[in-house]
Amino acid sequence: MTGQEYRFYRYLTRPADKELEISLPEGYEIRLFIPKFPRIVPPNLTRGLRHNFCSWWAMRVLGVFSRSEEYKVYTVYNAEDFAHYTVVVPRHFKFPFMGDNDIQANPVYTAPEHRRKGLAHAVIVQIKKDYAESGGCLWYVVRPENLPSIAHIEKLGFELYAIGAKAKRLGLSFLGRYEIGSLLK
């Protein structure tokens, strides 16, 4: 296996997660954004954050996702000021190790002025609640040097499942897939 190393974290959903408490700072609100043409990008995102949403939309429309209805974006706003997003996607060619009922919660982005307020934590808890009875796993793939992200996801009960890499396909990174190398669980 070649390519940059990644850590594969997994959380087994359970019905009891339905009862989890969500805590957000005053004035912040989680909003679920479900892309529908012509609105394929969450409102009030800066230009630099928009390009990936076009790719995910195209993958949804082309039927690349195993369950296209599971492509969602959890956003957080303070009034109408964008603060955070976490993208949720089902199994597809980039994540061949996932099961039919699994979802991948990544990428995660928080605007710099809204960081260190627990927004990513609150969104992952919301995702755990929403998928509590799915019978699948929540996956989170992260680079080993991203220590804050690793600490965050471990605090939320995700376990390091494997170490692997992102491999290019046809020499192209954007067609690449994440491959599990060493199982740890």
What span, in angstroms and rounded, lies between the C-alpha atoms of 11 and 100? 15
Domain spans, the chain = 5-183
**Given this model, what pLDDT does residue 99 score?**
92
Q: What is the pTM of this model?
A: 0.90
- Tens of pLDDT, residues 48-77: 777 778 888 888 888 877 777 788 999 999
- 159-169 β-sheet, strand order: 28-33, 72-78, 81-90, 103-110, 137-142, 5-12, 159-169, 172-183
The dotted CATH code for 5-183 is: 3.40.630.30
Output DSSP code: residue 3: S
